[in-house]
Amino acid sequence: MFRPRFFMFRPLLRQRAYSTYKTFDNTTVSTNPYNFILNHWKGLALLAAGTTAFVVTHLDRAPISNRLRLMLIGHKIEQFIGGQGYDEVISEYKHALLPDHHPQVKRVKRIMKSIIDVSPFAGDDSIDWRVHVINDPKASPNAFVLPGGKVFVFSSILPICGNDDGLATVLSHELAHQAARHTAESMSKAPLYLAASIILYSITGSRMLNSLFVNSLLKLPASREMETEADFIGLIMMSRACYNPDEAIHVWERMANFENTSAGIMGGRRPPEFLSTHPASTRRIDNIRKWLPEAYDARTSARCDERVAGYMPSFLEWSPPRDVGLF
């Protein structure tokens, strides 16, 4: 294979490196990058030290997965954004909200509460949890949790979830996004994307190429990484809450079938994984199979078999899930 050698570009570099120009006051300025570094090394060193100190003091670990990431957004801003989003969703779907006494609302609340009790939110009385089921037949199957404990489930996802273990899979995935503060993490990366955009634009001069690079090389992989992390954290949380982690595989199989069927109905094709914000369902299933041993360990540590059998000796340090004010 032909490989370009560095010496082939030397004449070009030499030509650029030693060029000079005259300013209006007739002083000669060299564009040699080595001269620039030599003349400004103190400022550059200060900038590098400042940036490193800033990044190090704003690093944060995601719960359960322990992934290290940059976090610039505080809890208060996150709560504020969650509150705004909540008002918007309520005003959009107020005609379709099922009442609190509806059996499906009670079911979602019961399962959500059991997962919250084993999540990083357990015991946090400052969160005003609200759970809503939206009965809109036209809406695509979905569920989401907004910062500040606002849970929305579209009734169209319930048949895909199937049993309680399946619903726990979806709810724990959504709660995992909140536990890992993925909204705040995405917002923290916005300045980095902007800087990358500016640098790329100055090189390519093309806005389209620039947004394609930033989206496909930075934003989409970051989004897929957070989705995969939510799958992992969710699987561990649902296992701690004594749901069956095997059911997670069946949920994503049903989700894949639904995606394929709807793509067929719409005459379109599912976007390939590298252009999608979510990992392909087959990738998800492979990951979950890989994580199942950890999920079984989480169930064992939570003494789920003893709880299921209804056998709870008094010396076990277990107490019924406490009410966190969800209902």
Q: For Zn ion, which is the closer residue by CB, 227 or 247?
A: 227
For 253, counting Cβ atoms within 10 Å of its Cβ (0-12 exposed, 13-18 middle, 19+ buried), the class is middle
Number of H helices, E strands in the chain: 13, 7
Interaction residues for Zn ion, span 230-249 (CB under 5 A): 230
Least distance (Å) between residue 274 CB and Zn ion: 17
Are the CB atoms for 39 and 48 separated by under 8 Å?
no
Parallel/antiparallel/unpaired status of strands 130-134 and 143-146: unpaired
Q: For Zn ion, which is the closer residue by CB, 153 or 200?
A: 153
Least distance (Å) between residue 273 CB and Zn ion: 14
Amino acid identity, position 171: L
Q: Could you tell me which stretch among 55-63, 106-114, 159-167, 223-231 binds Zn ion (CB under 5 A)?
A: 223-231
Q: Could you tell me which stretch among 28-36, 93-101, 181-189, 221-229 binds Zn ion (CB under 5 A)?
A: 221-229
- Judged by CB under 5 A, the number of residues near Zn ion is 2
Cα–Cα distance measured from residue 234 to residue 241, given in angstroms and rounded to the nearest whole number: 10
Q: For Zn ion, which is the closer residue by CB, 238 or 304?
A: 238
Q: Is 174 a catalytic residue?
A: yes
Q: Could you tell me which stretch among 18-26, 29-37, 46-54, 222-230 binds Zn ion (CB under 5 A)?
A: 222-230
CB proximity list for 29: less than 8 A, separation 6 or greater: 20, 21, 22, 23
Parallel/antiparallel/unpaired status of strands 150-154 and 143-146: antiparallel
Q: For Zn ion, which is the closer residue by CB, 32 or 228?
A: 228
Cα–Cα distance measured from residue 81 to residue 183, given in angstroms and rounded to the nearest whole number: 9
HSE-CB at 192 with a 13 A cutoff on CA atoms is 16
CB proximity list for 210: less than 8 A, separation 6 or greater: 197, 200, 201, 204
Q: For Zn ion, which is the closer residue by CB, 255 or 304?
A: 255
Reduced to 3 states, what is the DSSP secondary structure of residue 28? strand
Q: Could you tell me which stretch among 114-122, 200-208, 227-235, 241-249 binds Zn ion (CB under 5 A)?
A: 227-235
Q: Could you tell me which stretch among 28-36, 219-227, 237-245, 294-302 binds Zn ion (CB under 5 A)?
A: 219-227
Annotated catalytic residue: which of 78, 174, 229, 247? 174
Alpha helix (H) residue ranges in 246-316 = 246-265, 281-301, 304-308
Cα–Cα distance measured from residue 110 to residue 281, given in angstroms and rounded to the nearest whole number: 27
Q: For Zn ion, which is the closer residue by CB, 117 or 174?
A: 174
Are the CB atoms for 274 and 220 separated by under 8 Å?
yes
Cα–Cα distance measured from residue 149 to residue 179, given in angstroms and rounded to the nearest whole number: 10
Binding site for Zn ion (CB under 5 A): 227, 230
Active-site residues: which are they? 174
